[in-house]
Amino acid sequence: MIEERMKFLIEVGNKLQFAKVYYREDWDVYYFDILGKQFGLMTKDVTEDGIITLKGHPETNEELRETYEDIVPGYYANKKHWNSIKLNSTAISDSEIEKMIQTSYQLVWDKLPKKVRQEAEKNSK
């Protein structure tokens, strides 16, 4: 189950415009990247302790932590803006995590300098 979920989440990340997910050797994680900026990290090993860490709105992050015991403050990240989600959770669906990936992506995209976003969009046409 965990391995299939990890593959699915990598696919989700790779389908987002200008995004790529790759194994980052120096950090030993799958790195969710948009134009050089991180919007997620996921453990590479298929274990019961595996997590994905994603950015979210601070208020929503709190609600998610209160709702799901498998969502905790971001591991090695700003605890207000990032959550870590246990990959072996059965309480959280793949589609819910997919929405969290999309939110994280959008938050990081919106913070990129306007010039960087415009250049990327221009080059994609």
Query: Measured between alpha carbons, how far is residue 47 from residues 3, 43, 70, 87 in Å?
Result: 9, 9, 15, 9
Q: Helix-strand-coil percent breakdown of the chain, rounded to 5?
A: 40, 25, 35
The pLDDT assigned to 62 comes to 95
Query: In terms of CATH architecture, what is 2-118?
Result: Alpha-Beta Complex (3.90)
Beta bridge partners of 6: none
pLDDT digits (tens, 9 = 90+) for 71-93: 999 988 888 999 999 999 999 99
Contact between 69 and 22 (Cβ < 8 Å): no
Q: Is the pLDDT confidence value at 98 over 80?
A: yes
Domain-wise residue ranges, the chain? 2-118
In this prediction, residue 76 carries a pLDDT of 80
Confidence of residue 125 (pLDDT cuts 50, 70, 90): confident
pLDDT tens digits, 16-68 = 999 999 999 999 999 999 999 999 999 999 899 999 999 999 999 999 999 99
pLDDT of residue 61: 96
Predicted local confidence at residue 31, as pLDDT? 98
